Chain A
Amino acid sequence: MAKPRVAFFEFSDCEGCQLCALDLTPEQLLDLVSVVDIVEFREAMTEKAGALDDHGDGTDSIDVAFIEGSINRESDVARLKRIRERASIVVALGACAHIGGINALKNFQSEEEYRKAAYPTDPYKYESTTAKAIGEFIKVDAVIPGCPIDTGEFLHVVKDLLVGHKPQVPDYPVCVECKLKENGCVYEKGMHCLGPVTRAGCGARCPSNGGYCYGCRGLISKPNIASQQDIMQKYNLNEDEMLSKFKMFLQRSKEVFPDDK
């Protein structure tokens, strides 16, 4: 049986997720290249799969496309759709592709406002539009959440795909993992935390290292927003500040920002 042909692509992002995908032990890398053919991966290799198209990508069909980054320009949509046409399976790699990520934070400002902040002398020089997740344009078959992704979870998803399973990510909140780690509750320290409504799978990494959860893995499918409000009341925390925490990664979540663009 031919080895599955795997490719990596990126749009608007920091490429940190691809770096995490490469953070392998020598054994893991040797295993990986023995079971899949990596046919396109601009971050690590020169080759492309097939003749180049006008976006600079290859044109051959691929089995699995990992796509990192959000879509911040109309002109990137055609490239995204082309990749979808080439790929049997599309995996959203990381928060930007999955939920728009940090890029969507600018969506809370008017176009004029954010343009002037970055390019005060010539704000309309470059193309830019509302930052969106890739799933708002194409069908996405699986996601690897997080900013950045977890290397272990990446390998899990690859294994699932190799054996023909649909990759599953946890659909319970970060609080579950945090409790299993026996961490003290972040709210007890007087800080806000989005652990009660954020998708687990990170091992509660931030609360376990002195931080708090800011929702980079996206909401669970049935977030208990009422319970989150109860917690805020219990700890007498400011609602605006809490909403501000949700803005960092969750601008595209209709459950939190139903009226936003």
Chain B
Amino acid sequence: MIKATRKPLEEISSSVKGYGRILVLGCGGCTSVCLAGGQRESLELADDLAQVARAGGSTQHQSSATVERQCNPVFLAEISGRIADCDCVLSTACGAGVQNLSDAFPALPVFPALDTLFIGVDIDVGLYEERCRHCASCMLAYTGGICPVTRCAKSLFNGPCGGTRVDGGCEVGEGKSCAWLEIHDRLKAQGRLDSILSLRPPMDWVDRGPATLVQVGYEGRYTAAKVAAP
């Protein structure tokens, strides 16, 4: 899932400074799972902002609510009543949720309370690691299920650079391991080393502006809608 972390309180409170009624809107999706922006965290943030406001002698009012997911307009429609009662919304969703909220209520100032970090896995409670850069052209089949784009600091496709440390660490340090050493060792153990011996051609990064996905089976529905549009 998407992993995110709360912005510094100073930055958040400066975003919402000058607004009278603030709604902290939690998200029950990914940011709830990574303990950054669910119901509990949105309540905590509202409390923290209330303290900042009190300390600054402000009459700002904070409340919070949480929707199932901010990345779907159906869930956002459910809180339109609460939205009508506030001057701005502080979203604890990921960047996609913040934008979806902004688009759903275009007259309303919407601010992010989180920094969205990565698509990752849960190593333990409160401990997450990045695993996917959503390339749109997955390489995992030939790299033993270890992503070189995400986990190699240089996103190399054809094996390690010369920066692997004796302890198996990456040249960037910070306790990061060399993904290509791991790929090599896993494939060797599986007897599949040949899958990294041939040259991988340059990647098509499919970097052509915001992507759209029409899921298989739904082509007719959206093509028809487009045709029907004026």
**Are chains A and B native binding partners rather than an unrelated pairing?**
no
Q: Could you list which residues of chain B lie within 8 angstroms of chain A, going by C-beta atoms?
A: none
